[in-house]
Amino acid sequence: MADPVRLERDGAVAVLVLDNPPVNLFGREAFEALTDLVAEVEGSDARALVWRAEGDLFSGGADVNVFDGTSSAEGGEMFKALVSGVRRLEALPIPTLALVHGLCLTAGLEVSLGCDLIWATESAKFGLVEAVVGLTPGAGGTQRMAERAGPGRAREFVMTGGLYDAPTLERWGVLNRVVGDDELLEKGMKFAHRLAAGPTVAHGATKRLVRAYLEGGVDKADAETPAVSGGLFDSEDLQNAVKSFLRDGPGKATFEGR
């Protein structure tokens, strides 16, 4: 039986593909595979990552069979592992992009919320619907929805257990871009390659400063900026790009990710 998540490479872009037919459910095997593959990306020369899925829908969410007979202690350990996996994805020092189509529920959405950017098709629908079985999201979806959309909207999104369309979530600030149903993969991969061709070390610094802001506001980000941004002067990409700018003007530099 094929692994429920696989890793592909498209040049400098690593692609994590959820492929667990018929509805791309998340069980323990899927999350373990995802975590292992994120670790593989960490040690690779990939300069951007895409998270996408095969099939007519992105993910039907968590496999509820996993919850049957689970104790509180077992549930806590399970969710600890899930949150850890999402945090590991967030911590990648390269840009990450989720490309979402169709229906995207619970765990599939929570992993997507762990990416830096989310693109979706016009017809995509999203839900953290754990309330239907008496749960609240266990892989960090509630707090990451609050991070993007604000606490009031996160409460509504989770407590109602409803489905929300892509234009609504774009308006809320959860999605970065909504594209035509037949354009997602082509345009999304093109954008990922654009990110991968950029100054990888600087992109990692941008992620660190955004994280500092989220953890401690402008004051913490300001405190970290001198070391984080100043450290970029040691990168080959900055040194070469400055010389290119002075010699040839803006927009002519190429970056090697060093």
- For residue range 170-208, list pLDDT tens digits in order: 999 999 999 999 999 999 999 999 999 999 999 999 999
Q: How far apart are CA 213 and CA 189, in angstroms?
A: 28
C-alpha to C-alpha distance for 5 and 26, rounded to whole angstroms: 10
Contacts of residue 120, Cβ cutoff 8 Å, sequence gap at least 6: 99, 100, 101, 104, 126, 166, 169, 170, 175, 177, 178, 179, 184
Query: Which pLDDT value is given to residue 154?
Result: 97
Assessment of whether the complete model's pTM goes beyond 0.85: yes
Give the model's pLDDT for residue 68: 77
Q: Which residues contact residue 114 at a Cβ distance below 8 angstroms, ignoring those fewer than 6 apart?
A: 86, 87, 89, 90, 96, 140, 144
CB neighbours of 250 closer than 8 A, spacing ≥ 6? none
Q: Counting beta carbons within 10 angstroms of the beta carbon of residue 186, is it exposed (0 to 12), middle (13 to 18) or buried (19 or more)?
A: exposed
Q: Mean pLDDT for each 10-residue chunk of the chain (258 residues)?
A: 91 97 91 93 96 96 83 86 92 97 96 98 96 90 97 97 97 98 97 97 97 96 96 94 91 89
Q: Which residue has the tokens 């040049």?
A: 11
Helix (H) or strand (E) holding 105: strand 103-105
